[in-house]
């Protein structure tokens, strides 16, 4: 039966729904419909069927500019697994585990088995995500890859293994559908300068400033003894002998990667209540927003890290528009730390929000905006005999827009207008 706090949360969120854009709601209803959203930027990529708004008569797509985050991955380190195992194995030795505690221990062993010596690396699901995104791109825009005069594809990746393998899977998928495509594949420090510009000092400054508030958000309304009563036969002994007081945070972290490892059937998240998941998700989402997006506190500096990436997008698009160009697509593979500032700098729908750390969840949901394999695609169209080039933007394969820049027709922008707008963002 739904808790009173859950009912209150539903009513509050329903009231908010009337005053906020539908795409922006961090709402109870949204999480009920798609529980993976609880895991924020660790949510797997879920393709949601969409229809294309027809281009103006006579216009055909001829070039695609793309940037994608790596696909679903393993946890970046073993700390989460090791902490849980220390607590649960000590409790097992003391005969303190309930049936639920035994089940959780088995789940942690399974997670570690799939991640040992592979921490941070792409999962099998992550590889599938990129193959499938590439296949849909090829099928959705056949005119781009079917042009005999445009068979060149440039692909550049972060030096991270999970990005390199994501790129390999994407390229493999395209090549399998058209063996005549020619790929120029690159990585290295030259490309890292814009694909994943390093800002370690800024990152650390923001983390130090916001983490106390994040910790407070994680504690809001949560009875941390509740999960201890589920897992242990003697809560006080578990706290003292096993140091189990903060186990809920590590359980939530474990759940974050369950989908990524194709372990959703384990349903470890069932150990946590809706309210607990909502609270932990809110804290994680607000933290990511403040770290990487156009927050009131740090956005002016943060989004500047995407300057060179946006410049590359514009420069390569202009080159692809040249009469002699044989370029069908420019592909880039990076991280949320690059894609979030880029989308914020451009100001795409849902990413144009500017708010504070405390209120970000009222307007922004990390699991929607930046799941694993999140992507931005710019599809370029032209009409034979016309100099006008039109561009459509796709965020996670769905048509989107830039709210501060009116489109010219439907979701389509004239490239000359869009280019001027984008150049103004990094000049």
| Chain segment 296-312, per-residue pLDDT in tens | 999 999 999 999 999 99
pTM of the model: 0.92
Those residues with Cβ within 8 angstroms of residue 45's Cβ, 6 or more apart along the chain or in another chain: 71, 72, 129, 133, 371, 372, 373, 374, 396
221: confidence class by pLDDT, cuts 50, 70, 90 = confident
Separation CA 379–CA 412 (nearest Å): 9
What is the dotted CATH code of the domain comprising 24-74+123-201+293-426?
3.40.50.1240
- Predicted local distance difference test score (pLDDT) of residue 49: 87
Residue spans per domain, the chain = 24-74+123-201+293-426, 79-120+210-292
Mean per-residue pLDDT for 211-221?
Answer: 92
What is the phi-psi region of residue 407: left when phi exceeds 0, alpha when psi lies from -120 to 50, beta otherwise?
beta
**What is the share, in percent, of the chain residues with pLDDT greater than 70?**
94
Question: Other CB atoms closer than 10 Å to residue 99's CB: what's the count?
Answer: 9
| Chain segment 101-145, per-residue pLDDT in tens | 999 999 999 999 999 999 999 999 999 999 999 999 999 999 999
- Predicted local distance difference test score (pLDDT) of residue 23: 52
Residue 258 has pLDDT above 60, yes or no: yes
């Amino acid at each position: 039966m739904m808790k009173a706090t859950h009912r209150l949360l539903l009513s509050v969120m329903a009231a908010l729904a009337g005053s906020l854009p539908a795409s922006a709601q961090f709402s109870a209803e949204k999480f009920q419909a798609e529980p993976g959203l609880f895991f924020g930027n660790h949510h797997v990529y879920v393709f949601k069927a969409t229809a294309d708004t027809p281009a103006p008569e006579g216009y055909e797509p001829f070039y695609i500019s793309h940037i994608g985050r790596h696909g679903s991955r393993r946890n970046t380190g073993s700390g989460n697994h090791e902490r849980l195992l220390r607590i649960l194995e000590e409790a097992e030795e003391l005969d303190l585990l309930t049936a639920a505690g035994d089940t959780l221990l088995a789940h942690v062993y399974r997670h570690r088995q799939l991640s040992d010596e592979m921490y941070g690396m792409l999962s099998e699901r992550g590889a599938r995500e990129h193959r499938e995104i590439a296949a849909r791109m090829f099928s959705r825009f056949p005119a781009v890859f079917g042009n005999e005069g445009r068979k060149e594809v440039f692909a550049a990746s972060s030096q991270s293994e999970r990005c390199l393998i994501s790129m390999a899977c994407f390229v493999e998928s395209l090549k399998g559908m058209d063996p005549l495509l020619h790929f120029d594949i690159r990585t290295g420090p030259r490309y890292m300068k814009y694909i994943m510009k390093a800002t370690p000092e800024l990152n650390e400054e923001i983390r130090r400033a916001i983490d106390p508030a994040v910790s407070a958000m994680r504690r809001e309304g949560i009875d941390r003894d509740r999960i201890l009563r589920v897992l242990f036969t003697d809560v006080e002994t578990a706290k003292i002998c096993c140091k189990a007081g903060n186990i809920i945070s590590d359980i939530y972290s474990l759940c974050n990667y369950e989908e990524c490892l194709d372990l959703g059937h384990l349903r470890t998240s069932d150990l946590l209540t809706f309210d607990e998941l909502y609270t932990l998700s809110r804290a994680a989402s607000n933290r990511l927003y403040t770290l990487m997006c156009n927050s009131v506190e740090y956005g002016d500096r943060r989004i500047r890290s995407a300057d060179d990436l946006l410049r590359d997008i514009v420069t390569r698009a202009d080159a692809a528009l040249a009469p002699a160009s044989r370029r069908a697509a420019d592909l880039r593979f990076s991280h949320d730390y690059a894609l979030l500032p880029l989308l914020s700098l451009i100001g795409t729908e849902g990413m144009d929000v500017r708010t504070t750390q405390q209120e970000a969840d009222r307007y922004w949901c990390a699991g929607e905006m930046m799941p694993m394999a999140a992507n931005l695609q710019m599809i370029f169209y032209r009409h034979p005999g016309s100099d006008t080039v039109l561009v459509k933007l796709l965020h996670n394969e769905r048509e989107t827009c830039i709210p501060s820049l009116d489109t010219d027709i439907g979701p389509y922008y004239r490239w000359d207008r869009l280019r001027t707008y984008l150049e103004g963002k990094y000049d």
